[in-house]
Amino acid sequence: PLLRETFLENPPKTPPTMIRINANENPYGPPMSARKAVAESVATGSRYSWKELENLVGKIAKKEGVTPDHIMMGPGSSDLLEKVALVLFAKGGNVVSADPTYMSLVKVAEATGASWKAVPCKGDWSHDLKAMEAAIDKDTKLVYICNPNNPMGSITSGKELLDFCSRVADRVPIFVDEAYLELAVGADTQSMVSLLSQKKNVIIARTFSKIMGMAGLRVGYIAALPSTLDNIQKITRGGMGITQTSIAAAVASMDDNEFQDTTRKLNHEVKTYLCKNLDRMGYKYVTSYTNFVIFPINMPGKEMLQKMMAKGIMVRGYEIQGKPWCRVSMGTMDEIKQFVSALEAIS
Ligand code: PLP
């Protein structure tokens, strides 16, 4: 793989005072509307939440323009990335994806017995769709695409991806992870969910963890053809892992456009401030269409993590093509100002 994460051997326990800008969370969430819904829903927590879940699925289906049997819920989209991999790779095969990319699904596929066909990203870190198509062979069970991509923050053209999915999904299912799509301000992008009405075999993953600010409340879903979901749900049920309180929070946050707009606006402002400062310091970052920015650094990744940690700041370290990089998530403006000062001090 071109991508390797850098870890500290003995990371300190996370004290509450740490600035946590390492996991691409939304620092403004959960929305107040969701907090209120959580509090109110606790009272009926002694009951299974079938009706509430059905209501949430109906709401999501309406938003996505599909019928409810196209939706499978999970406690976060991680759960669904893993379930899809467990089911599709039960008999081996291979998964085709970009490298670097988000490794959750690929890792479970590998652990299940599949092999990984890694296709290097293009120079601008977008997906090399031509090379990915060429990498598909008779053993390919799934193509995984993360757009915008993590950890690069880069975008692949929505038009090109739509064309790729609509052709290639006739040969092999395509999993499109759209965790950061709502944050891709100003990008040529679109959801691949529209392909479901053309009966294309795509699986779209979306999460409430990012734009909705609910990473700790755990709600996500996939949209796919009912036949694909039947296949997965024969083995592993969707929705059973979500608590009633999280369902209530999800319903409320879906209606809270003001919170989502504010998140997008603040994320953009903070990112603009960070990039201006990275420019000033001479760091060559990748243009980001997400709530994080990645850039190469001029010290070993572990040293950077340790020095940041000593300043109370948690970020992520990666090795890409053998070189150290730092990935920083957009915290609040105040948090990013502290990150900029720390970076200046340790550079
Ligand atoms: N997909 C991508 C690309 C991510 O970056 C993440 C989390 O950071 C996830 C999926 C999983 O998110 P969750 O399980 O919180 O929905």
CATH at 197: 3.40.640.10
Q: How wide is the angle at C-alpha 106 spanned by C-alphas 102 and 107, nearest 5°?
A: 100
Distance 77 CA to ligand 1 centre (A): 6
Distance 179 CA to ligand 1 centre (A): 6
Last residue of a domain, one of 255, 290, 307: 255
Domain of residue 111 covers 32-255
Distance 180 CA to ligand 1 centre (A): 9
Which residues does ligand 1 sit against, CB inside 6 Å? 24, 76-78, 102, 146, 150, 177, 179, 207, 209, 215, 220
15 and 164, same domain (yes or no): no
Residue 54 contacts residue 73 (beta carbons within 8 Å): no
Q: Which atom of ligand 1 is nearest to the CA of 180?
A: 3
What the block records as the tokens of 86 is 């467990």
Looking up tokens 């608590």 gives 243
228 and 131, same domain (yes or no): yes
- Helices assigned H by DSSP within the chain: 32-41, 50-64, 77-88, 104-112, 129-135, 158-168, 226-233, 244-255, 257-281, 301-310, 333-346
Q: Give the residue whose CA is nearest to atom 2 of ligand 1.
A: 179
Ligand 1 pocket check: which of 22, 78, 147, 177 to mutate, most ligand atoms within 8 Å of Cβ?
78
CATH at 305: 3.90.1150.10
66 and 112, same domain (yes or no): yes
What the block records as the tokens of 250 is 């999800």
278 and 208, same domain (yes or no): no
**Backbone φ/ψ region at 246: left (φ over 0), alpha (ψ -120 to 50), beta:** alpha
Total number of residues shown for the chain? 347
Residue 78 contacts residue 104 (beta carbons within 8 Å): yes
Q: Which atom of ligand 1 is nearest to the CA of 146?
A: 3
* pLDDT tens for the 347 residues of the chain, in order: 788 999 888 776 666 678 999 999 999 999 999 999 999 999 999 999 999 999 999 999 999 999 999 999 999 999 999 999 999 999 999 999 999 999 999 999 999 999 999 999 999 999 999 999 999 999 999 999 999 999 999 999 999 999 999 999 999 999 999 999 999 988 989 999 999 999 999 999 999 999 999 999 999 999 999 999 999 999 988 888 999 999 999 999 999 999 999 999 999 999 999 999 999 999 999 999 999 999 999 999 999 999 999 999 999 999 999 999 999 999 999 999 999 999 999 99
149 and 67, same domain (yes or no): yes
Ligand 1 pocket check: which of 25, 82, 104, 175 to mutate, most ligand atoms within 8 Å of Cβ?
104
Q: Which atom of ligand 1 is nearest to the CA of 209?
A: 15
- Dist CA 40 CA 248 (whole Å): 9
What the block records as the tokens of 245 is 């309180």
What the block records as the tokens of 84 is 């899809």
Look up the ipTM and state it: 0.99
User: Going by DSSP bridges, is the β-strand pair 323-329/292-296 parallel, antiparallel, or unpaired?
Assistant: antiparallel
| Number of domains into which the chain is organized | 2
Peptide bond before residue 27 is cis, with ω within 30 degrees of 0? no
Distance 76 CA to ligand 1 centre (A): 7
19 and 121, same domain (yes or no): no
161 and 59, same domain (yes or no): yes
Q: Give the residue whose CA is nearest to atom 6 of ligand 1.
A: 179
Using DSSP, state whether 16 is helix, strand or coil. Answer: coil
- Dist CA 87 CA 165 (whole Å): 21
Q: Give the residue whose CA is nearest to atom 5 of ligand 1.
A: 150
Phi and psi at residue 206, in whole multiples of 5°? -135, 155
Residue 19 contacts residue 331 (beta carbons within 8 Å): yes
What pLDDT shows up at residue 14?
65
Q: What is the 3-state secondary structure (H, E, C) of 137-191?
A: CCCEEEEEEECCCCCCCCCCCHHHHHHHHHHHCCCCCEEEECCCHHHCCCCCCCC
Residue 135 contacts residue 117 (beta carbons within 8 Å): yes
Q: How large a percentage of the chain has pLDDT more than 90?
A: 92
Q: Which atom of ligand 1 is nearest to the CA of 78?
A: 14
Q: Which atom of ligand 1 is nearest to the CA of 149?
A: 3
148 and 266, same domain (yes or no): no
88 and 154, same domain (yes or no): yes
Distance 62 CA to ligand 1 centre (A): 23
Distance 207 CA to ligand 1 centre (A): 7
Q: Which atom of ligand 1 is nearest to the CA of 210?
A: 15
Last residue of a domain, one of 222, 255, 288: 255
The dihedral built from the CA positions of residue 172, 178, 181 and 182, taken in this order, carries a sign that is positive
67 and 187, same domain (yes or no): yes
249 and 262, same domain (yes or no): no
Q: Which atom of ligand 1 is nearest to the CA of 24?
A: 8
195 and 141, same domain (yes or no): yes
Q: From the CB of residue 48, how many other CB atoms can be counted at a distance below 10 Å?
A: 9
Last residue of a domain, one of 230, 255, 280: 255
**DSSP class of 287:** P
